[in-house]
Amino acid sequence: MNPNERERLIILGGIAVAALSVIIFLILFNMSRASELESEIAKNKRTLKEVHGLVTEYAQIKQRSSSLESRLQGGGVPLLSYLENICRNAKIENPQLNPRRTGESEFYQETSIEMKAAGLTLEKLGNLLKNIESSPRYLRIKSFKLETPYAHKELLDVTLQVSSYAPKEASSAQPPKKEHP
């Protein structure tokens, strides 16, 4: 072997070792990157699953909210007349319906009626509560008092406060704007 061939072999061996080192480095780098990407994929899958859960929860809340908003519209009938009809449907005679001081929030106006009815059977009371609960209008029983009269233990006297809510006008429901200096 002459010196030129020996130099060529050494140079080719050096190039082969360098190329092999670069290839091994690239393989190790890609394996490391692949493992990082796999953990990132797993993390993103968990995040995606959480997002899907939130989307489902949001859809359920939106559906309940729109249902509640439609019930809050109330149909335009005053609460006093509406409760008189509910009492009539439950076959309750001569209930005392008295308007109460109403509450107010930033977005809703509350109307309350105190209702007293004496001498009810358990069936009539059940019908009254069922009619209030299944009303297409949003009604809330804020207080409930049940008594049995001393003379007639089989009958019931009931006092309850029923509230209805209606959204305020769009212009008055907006919070006041703050001016910045």
Residues 108 and 25 in one domain: no
Among 32, 57, 72, residue at a domain's last position: 72
Residues 154 and 96 in one domain: yes
Residues 38 and 63 in one domain: yes
Tell me the pLDDT tens digit for each residue of 6-58: 888 889 899 999 999 999 999 999 999 999 999 999 999 999 999 999 999 99
Residues 56 and 121 in one domain: no
Neighbours of 149 (CB within 10 A): 12
> Does residue 115 form part of some domain?
yes
Say which CATH number the domain at 128 has.
Answer: 3.30.70.60
The model's pTM is: 0.56
Domain of residue 46 covers 1-72
What's residue 46's pLDDT?
95
Tell me the pLDDT tens digit for each residue of 89-114: 888 888 899 988 777 778 778 888 99
> Does residue 125 form part of some domain?
yes
The C-alpha atoms of residue 114 and residue 94 are separated, in whole angstroms, by 14
Residues 68 and 88 in one domain: no
Residues 61 and 9 in one domain: yes
- Are 143 and 121 spatial neighbours (Cβ–Cβ below 8 Å)? no
Tell me the pLDDT tens digit for each residue of 128-138: 999 988 888 88
> Does residue 180 form part of some domain?
no
Name the region of 38 (left: φ>0; alpha: ψ -120 to 50; beta: rest).
alpha
Distances (CA, A) of 126 to 8, 33, 112, 116, 157: 104, 68, 21, 15, 13
> Does residue 181 form part of some domain?
no
Identity of the amino acid at 119: G
Residues 158 and 80 in one domain: yes
Name the region of 156 (left: φ>0; alpha: ψ -120 to 50; beta: rest).
beta
Domains: count for the chain: 2
Residues 67 and 79 in one domain: no
- Are 162 and 145 spatial neighbours (Cβ–Cβ below 8 Å)? no
